[in-house]
Amino acid sequence: MGRCQGAGSATGRRVAAALAILIGLALGLGALGCGSGEGDGGSGASKSSEPPVDPHAPPSVDAAALAKKAAAVFGKLPAAAEKETNPLTPAKIDLGRMLYYDTRLSKNHDVACNSCHKLDAFGVDGEPTSPGHRGQRGERNSPTVYNAALHLAQFWDGRAEDVEAQAKGPVLNPIEMASPSEEHVVGVLASIPGYVTAFAEAFPDDETPLSYDNMARAIGAFERKLITPGPFDRFLAGDLDALDPAERRGLDAFLSLGCISCHNGATVGGLQYRKLGQIFPYETKDPGRFNVTGNEADRFVFKVPSLRNVAETGPWFHDGSITSLEEAVRLMGYHQLGLTLEPKQIADLSAFLRSLTGEIDAGYVARPELPANGPDTPAPDPN
């Protein structure tokens, strides 16, 4: 029994020693683990501090790659829409600014270019169709004048080649400004001494500076600098924080879904004609460009609108029938691309479109002082 007790005591001592070593090792490793986690950002602490992954979170977009891809599609927005045959001079621009705001170009002296294309409201009046002479309304929405000089043509149906040709139309349109003739308009302007001087300064090489064509050239010159860069342009130039994550996702979708097949170039549209209802028919009675060309292939074809400032230029579409930007996105996805967009896609695309809102040069578009009537200036005619 004594031997047994001695052997047991020895065995017990060996077990106790082994346990002590194991406990020491465990404590040492634990201390090392704590020291690593607290002092140098070891894996133990970093795992516990990482937020859980949200499986429903939208995918992130590589901003640098996106900006490079988008820049290749849209290019750089110029500071002005220069035209060789209508050089931009300060005198011509100043004259055009006055004419743009002057209601005396209209029969009743109550409608100006700015009445329908308000420069302090992103170039629109916010109405489905605009009121003109005696409150008459046309059948199409007044498009914005901002960035319009960069388009391939003017009006929804492209019937005017450029902003100079466009400026001649509304003045004589019986529904809009209703002046009876070019001669009448020239007579009104010639009766205002300040305009006689301004035309002479703007067109010093012309034998007859004050003419209907020069009126249009001056208005066109003013409009050629109505350019509105914004966050989107800063993003394309390398400021990757200019667009937030939702706007970047929207731009990515805009590129990948096919929106750029119509809306491309620096103006994000305005550079081609397309049928409204390209994939699925869109109900409209307006024949569009068919009225200009007489070509059956142009029935229901319209100039693709620029999306610059689109969030500020509703209501939308050629007839001003759509009152929600999101609804406009949904309808375009369906009728033009054949897509049924998901709510998240619509939200992201709409966020991107809002990033196309630019900055208006308030000084450039400020209403000028207009020259006073002369003794022979015709009175307003409400008839």
Give the number of domains in the chain.
2
167 inside domain: yes
* 280 and 313 assigned to the same domain: yes
Are 330 and 240 part of one and the same domain?
A: yes
Domain boundary among 172, 200, 227: 227
Q: Is residue 2 part of a domain?
A: no
Instruction: Please indicate, yes or no, whether residues 71 and 138 belong to a single structural domain of this protein.
Output: no
Query: Residue 16 domain-assigned?
Result: no
Which phi and psi (to 5°) does residue 322 adopt?
-105, 125
Q: How far is the C-alpha of 67 from the C-alpha of 61, rounded, in Å?
A: 10
Considering the domain boundaries, does residue 369 fall inside one?
Answer: no
Candidate list 38, 127, 139, 176, residue with the active-site label: 176
49: in domain? no
Same-domain pairing of 175 and 271:
no
Below-70 pLDDT ranges, the chain: 1-59
Boundary-marking domain end, from 171, 201, 227: 227
15 assigned to some structural domain: no
Same domain as 171, residue 71: no
- 195 shares a domain with 308: no
Prediction pTM value? 0.85
Q: 218 and 234 share a domain?
A: no
Question: The CATH number of the domain where 107 resides is what?
Answer: 1.10.760.10
List Cβ neighbours of 180 (8 Å cut-off, separation of 6 or more). 107, 172
At 60 the pLDDT is: 78
Domain interval for residue 173: 90-227
Helices (H), the chain: 2-39, 43-49, 63-74, 90-101, 113-116, 163-172, 182-190, 193-202, 212-223, 231-236, 245-257, 290-293, 325-337, 343-354, 362-365
Tell how far CA 246 is from the center of its chain: 16
* pLDDT tens digit sequence for 172-215: 999 999 999 999 999 999 999 999 999 999 999 999 999 999 99
Question: Does one domain contain both 96 and 223?
Answer: yes
Q: Say what the pLDDT of residue 349 is.
A: 99
Residue 371 belongs to some domain of the structure? no
* Residues 142 and 249 both lie in one domain: no
Asked whether residue 267 is domain-assigned, the answer is: yes
Specify the pLDDT at position 251.
Answer: 99
Position 33 scores a pLDDT of: 40
Co-location of 108 and 120 in the same domain:
yes
266 and 216 share a domain?
Answer: no
**Residue 176 known to be catalytic:** yes
Radius of gyration of the chain (CA): 34
- pLDDT for the residue numbered 8: 43
Which one, of 369, 370, 365, 368, lies nearest residue 119 by Cα?
365
Task: Please tell me whether residues 214 and 272 are part of one structural domain.
Answer: no
